[in-house]
Amino acid sequence: MKTVLLIGLTNFGMRMGREMAALGHQIMAVDSDETRVNEILPFVVNAQIGDSTREEFLSSLGVNNYDVCVVAIDHDFQGSLETTSLLKELGAHYVVSLAERDVQEKFLLGNGADEVINPEKQMAKWAAIRYTSDHILDYIKLDEEHAIFEVEVPREWVGRSVGQIDIRKRYGINLMAVKEEGKMDLNITPDTLLTSKKTMFVLGDQKRLRKCFHV
C-alpha cells in the first residue's frame, strides 16, 4: 500500500484515483473544482479544494509525507508545470506528471517530474501493434528496447513442447506464461505443451519479438 497525493480530477485523474483506491492505496485528492472533489471523496482518504500553483496551499498538504505525487492536471499546462516544480521544491519524493504532447513531456522532466505519463502517445503505440497484427493480443512496453507480448501460438509451434521448440535458445526470447480459457499458467517447463487454444506471454527485445512473430 502506498500513500498518494493526486492533484487534478478531470477525466484521467478521476479514473486514476478510483483505480488506485481499488488497489488499496491511501489517496489525498486535490482539485480547484468543488464538484469534482465531492465526486472523488467516497473513494479516497481525504480530498481538498485548492489551487495547487500556490506554494502555501501545497506546503500545507505535507507533500514530503507521500510516497508519490501525481499531477494529473490536463488542459492547463502552465498549472501542471508550476505544480510539478513546486512539489519538487517542497521535497516531494517522487513526482509523476501528465503530458498531452511530447514537448510538454520534455518541459515537465526538466522542471521536477521524475516520470511523465503521456496516455495518447502510449496508447497510440499499443494500438499500432495490437490492431495491425492478427496474432498479437496485448502489448506492454517495458523500456525503449524490451516489451511483453501476448501472442497466439504460431501454427508451426502447435502440438510441440517448449523444450522441442527451444524458444529461448533459438529466438532469444523468454516464455513467461501461457493462458487458456482465461486461466494463467506460470509454471512453464520444457514439457509444457503448446496448443492452438493457448496464448503465450513472451518477454524480450522488441526487435526479436517482432521478427519472431512477424509484427
Same-domain status, 111 and 127: no
Same-domain status, 135 and 111: no
Q: Determine the pLDDT at residue 134.
A: 67
- Counting the structural domains of the chain, the total is 2
**128 band by pLDDT with thresholds 50, 70 and 90:** confident
- Closest of 165, 151, 163, 156 to residue 190, by C-alpha: 163
Same-domain status, 99 and 153: no
Is pLDDT above 70 for 215?
A: no
- Structure confidence by residue, pLDDT tens digits, 156-193: 999 999 999 998 889 999 999 999 998 999 999 999 99
Of 117, 149, 169, the residue at which a domain comes to its end is 117
Same-domain status, 7 and 25: yes
Q: Which runs of E-coded beta strand occur in the chain?
A: 3-7, 26-31, 46-49, 68-71, 95-98, 115-117, 136-141, 146-152, 174-180, 183-185, 198-205
Of 67, 93, 117, the residue at which a domain comes to its end is 117
Global pTM reads 0.72
Q: Could you tell me which residue, 122 or 37, shows the higher pLDDT?
A: 37
Q: Determine the pLDDT at residue 61.
A: 96
Is pLDDT above 70 for 130?
A: yes
Same-domain status, 39 and 69: yes
Q: Determine the pLDDT at residue 111.
A: 94
Same-domain status, 109 and 140: no
Same-domain status, 19 and 84: yes
- Structure confidence by residue, pLDDT tens digits, 84-98: 999 999 999 999 999
Same-domain status, 151 and 137: yes
Same-domain status, 110 and 31: yes
Q: Determine the pLDDT at residue 20.
A: 95
**CA dist list (Å): 121 to 13, 20, 98, 105, 140:** 17, 22, 11, 11, 13
Same-domain status, 15 and 84: yes
Average pLDDT, the chain: 92
CA distance 212 to 109: 35
Is pLDDT above 80 for 210?
A: yes
Of 55, 83, 117, the residue at which a domain comes to its end is 117
Residues in the chain: 215
CA distance 20 to 2: 9
- Structure confidence by residue, pLDDT tens digits, 19-77: 999 999 999 999 999 999 999 999 999 999 999 999 999 999 999 999 999 999 988 99
Is pLDDT above 80 for 135?
A: no
Mean per-residue pLDDT for 103-132? 87
Please state the separation of Cα 92 from the chain's center in Å.
Answer: 21
Same-domain status, 108 and 134: no
Same-domain status, 7 and 113: yes
71: containing domain = 3-117
Q: Determine the pLDDT at residue 182.
A: 87
Match 535458445 to its residue by C-alpha cell.
169
CATH classification of the domain holding 130: 3.30.70.1450
Helix, strand counts (H, E) of the chain: 9, 11
